[in-house]
Amino acid sequence: MVTVMRTTFRRASGPTLLAMVICASVACSRTPSPSAADAATPPAATAPAAPVIGIDLAGLDKTVQPGNDFEQYANGGWRNATEIPADRSSTGMFLKVFEKAEQRTAELVRNAAASNPAAGSDERRIADYYAAFMDEAAIEQAGLAPVQAEIDRANAIADKTALAKELGAGLRADVDPLNATDYDTDRLFGLFVSQGLDDPSRNTAYLLQGGLGMPNRDYYLSGEKAMADIRDKYKAYIAALLTQAGIDGADAKARAIYALEEKIARAHASVVETSDVHNARAWSREDFARKAPGLDWEAYFAAAGLGEQASITAWQPGAITGLSALVASQPLQAWKDWMVFHALDRSASLLPKAYADLSFGFHGTTLYGIPQQRERSKRALGAVGNALGDAVGKIYVAKYFPASSRDQVQQMVSNLLAEFPARIDALDWMDPATKEKAKATVTSMKVSVGYPETWRDYSQLEIRPDDALGNAQRAELAEYRHQLAKLGQAPDRGEWWMTPQTVNAVNLPLQNALNFPAAILEAPFFDPNADAAANYGAIGAVIGHEIVHGFDNLGADFDADGRLFNWWTKEDLAHFDAAGKELAEQYSAYEPLPGLHINGQQTLGENIADLAGLEVAYQAYRKSLGGAEAPVIEGLTGDQRFFLAFAQAWRGKMRDAALRSQVVGGVHAPGRYRAMTVRNIDAWYDAWGAQEGQAMYLAPQDRIRIW
């Protein structure tokens, strides 16, 4: 994936959490601070200028040499003049494009409300969902009533079998473990439905670890002082939320809840372990009872609607075993209190203001450093998109995504895909049989641009204009039932896991498919009137990135049908792994915050996709010129503009708390370091004249090449 968002794989519209962790502003530990003596000296160019450049020239920092810090050269002027909005954890290029999509969505929602749409129509659902979210008076008047039934059910649990039933009834659709950064739901487990790892002919259920209120296990277990401070604030937040709800003994209950979550965290698989598909195991229901004793699995699966499934894949089998054991070993009251807290926590944004403020204070300010909550109307837009993503998306693309743009991007995709067979054939380390398998993956990729072929049907989803939390709960349940309905069915390779108004892109290894939503196909990523260098350097590199995910350290485990299958020779795989290790070591040397290094293995798949995707985009750009040289525009050659467009696509500033969250739990390196990919590309050296002795320079033999 290009970005990192918690809500993406619930068919969310990206607006809810977009740009939270996509950009960064901290310096690379291997790059010295620029000085006035570092005057930029790019190679001279004399060809005549062309009119449209597609590059932000005012955002450059010409006090630094490109070879010393290319990202600073490309973005330093912009960064010096830019402040992070008070209601954001970061800002950057993705936020700029997101804000355009958000403004358009706001217009569509307003129009839906103003047109007095017919009862039962999607437009009516959109208008009513938005109206309910905005009706603060009704929310205040309702108090805890919308969540009281869930609290009462938790408090009424009398034994561990009843606990298993309530946990199962609460199971909901979770993120795709192959494409997400935050793999953890606050429910004990999450469900993902897609084709089987070994049998691509039918959909199966995947059970994922969960149970945490903080982003991932490291927040509970890290010895860093910053993490310890966050833990203290989380404990205080638990107690404050319980106190606000009038629950007796809130402080003692908060301590017990946190102690339980810490044990849950210790049972969890790490991000690196979770990203390794080979750890997953298909278990029969009997296997769950035998391999993960402690939870009454029959009661759990029956309540979850999974009682008829002969096999369910445990994505993190060790964690599932550990969590099940905790159900048996930990006091029933602790589990009941944990369920009450999470019922309040996940609902807080749609409860009275006191609850919403407490929630934002921790989840927004403490975790991501955001000082000010977004205005309610914008939060409402995100909520509508999250619940009714395709309903909004359908009218979004009808108004804002012309067929001409779709055609132009599809041509770019075709151009990039066409580069792969020749690149694969040119690999001197790969066996011919392996090459044929790799090329088959490329030729069979299903690429969808702009929007899905089939839209989601919301006709059975009840939306009321006076029930904000109820609407969210029913939408979440409807999504879960939609996923359950796919079980045992033939997979739909055209299924989208994003909405058209999401500023993102994704490779789906199990479907061998790519999705490029309409909202990311906007300037400055893509401008139908811009110079080709800018388009190929920005959206072209994004397209290349997603294609390469089919061949990164995860995608390379799947064949052309999306089946988990080793199509590599032993020697080829050893070479591939060795190159990946070198790239991981390069990124592990980067230090976004003092003492906090990027985990190169954790981010390896995204770094491989950035590297090879950029190379392929460059080759496709050069081929698009038809053998001619690109015009010089504003003194910049076509190659220079290409690499500037790439670096500016990753420009950003990020609050330290959000940056820490991304580095600790993310599979993407911060944007600043993604822009550093250029130091491995020979053409970048030719374009910008980087020389030995400059901070970014790598000798030719030290530049990492994978595909």
How does pLDDT run across 148-204, given as a tens digit for each residue? 999 999 999 999 999 999 999 999 998 666 554 444 578 999 999 999 998 999 999
Last residue of a domain, one of 331, 364, 396: 331
Q: Are residues 431 and 569 in the same domain?
A: yes
Find the mean pLDDT for residues 255-260: 98
Q: Does residue 238 lie within any of the structural domains? A: yes
Find the mean pLDDT for residues 263-286: 93
Q: Are residues 569 and 680 in the same domain?
A: yes
Q: pLDDT tens digits for 210-221?
A: 999 999 999 999
Confidence of residue 51 (pLDDT cuts 50, 70, 90): low
Q: Are residues 327 and 404 in the same domain?
A: no
Whether 229 shows a pLDDT value over 50: the answer reads yes
Check residue 178 and give its pLDDT: 59
Whether 1 shows a pLDDT value over 70: the answer reads no
- Domain range spanning residue 62? 22-46+54-101+388-453+494-702
Last residue of a domain, one of 331, 352, 371: 331
Whether 49 shows a pLDDT value over 50: the answer reads no
Q: Are residues 568 and 675 in the same domain?
A: yes
Check residue 177 and give its pLDDT: 66
Mean pLDDT of the residues in the chain: 89
Q: Are residues 283 and 409 in the same domain?
A: no
The H-assigned helical ranges of 426-506 are: 432-443, 468-486
The answer for residues whose C-beta is within 8 angstroms of residue 561's C-beta and 6 or more apart is: 200, 444, 512
What percentage of the chain exceeds 90 in pLDDT? 78
Find the mean pLDDT for residues 230-236: 98
Q: pLDDT tens digits for 313-357?
A: 999 999 999 999 999 999 999 999 999 999 999 999 999 999 999
Whether 403 shows a pLDDT value over 70: the answer reads yes
H or E segment at 241? Answer: helix 225-244
Q: Does residue 172 lie within any of the structural domains? A: yes
More confidently predicted of 47 and 119: 119
More confidently predicted of 591 and 186: 591
Of 17-26, 153-162, 261-270, 424-433, the poorest mean pLDDT is in 17-26
Question: Which of the 8 DSSP states describes residue 633?
Answer: B
Question: Which of the 8 DSSP states describes residue 517?
Answer: E
Find the mean pLDDT for residues 45-56: 64
φ and ψ at residue 344, rounded to 5 degrees: -70, -45
Confidence of residue 630 (pLDDT cuts 50, 70, 90): very high
Whether 30 shows a pLDDT value over 60: the answer reads no
Check residue 276 and give its pLDDT: 87
Check residue 184 and give its pLDDT: 55
Whether 441 shows a pLDDT value over 90: the answer reads no
pTM of the model: 0.87
Q: Are residues 79 and 223 in the same domain?
A: no
Whether 575 shows a pLDDT value over 70: the answer reads yes
Q: Give just the sign of the alpha carbon dihedral 384, 389, 391, 395.
A: positive
Q: pLDDT tens digits for 75-101?
A: 999 999 999 999 999 999 999 999 999
Confidence of residue 553 (pLDDT cuts 50, 70, 90): confident
Question: Which of the 8 DSSP states describes residue 452?
Answer: -
The answer to whether 353 and 379 have CB atoms below 8 angstroms apart is no
CATH number at residue 232: 1.10.1380.10
The answer for residues whose C-beta is within 8 angstroms of residue 462's C-beta and 6 or more apart is: 474
Find the mean pLDDT for residues 534-556: 88
Check residue 555 and give its pLDDT: 76
Whether 2 shows a pLDDT value over 80: the answer reads no
Q: Are residues 396 and 327 in the same domain?
A: no
More confidently predicted of 152 and 26: 152
Whether 605 shows a pLDDT value over 60: the answer reads yes
Cis, bond preceding 177 (omega within 30 deg of 0): no
Q: Does residue 70 lie within any of the structural domains? A: yes
Domain count, the chain: 2
Closest CA to 390 of 450, 440, 340, 464: 450
Find the mean pLDDT for residues 552-568: 81
Find the mean pLDDT for residues 419-423: 89
Whether 41 shows a pLDDT value over 70: the answer reads no
Q: Are residues 511 and 439 in the same domain?
A: yes
The answer for residues whose C-beta is within 8 angstroms of residue 272's C-beta and 6 or more apart is: 599, 601, 602
Q: Are residues 318 and 184 in the same domain?
A: yes
The H-assigned helical ranges of 245-375 are: 250-267, 271-274, 285-291, 297-304, 317-329, 332-347, 353-359, 367-368
Beta bridge partners of 636: 633
Whether 22 shows a pLDDT value over 60: the answer reads no
Q: Does residue 488 lie within any of the structural domains? A: no
Q: Are residues 615 and 681 in the same domain?
A: yes
Q: Does residue 345 lie within any of the structural domains? A: no
Find the mean pLDDT for residues 426-430: 88
Last residue of a domain, one of 265, 299, 331: 331
Q: Does residue 479 lie within any of the structural domains? A: no
Confidence of residue 8 (pLDDT cuts 50, 70, 90): very low
More confidently predicted of 510 and 242: 242
CATH number at residue 617: 3.40.390.10
Q: Does residue 489 lie within any of the structural domains? A: no
Distances (CA, A) of 219 to 49, 151, 251, 262, 324: 52, 27, 21, 9, 21
Q: Are residues 95 and 172 in the same domain?
A: no
Q: Are residues 95 and 191 in the same domain?
A: no
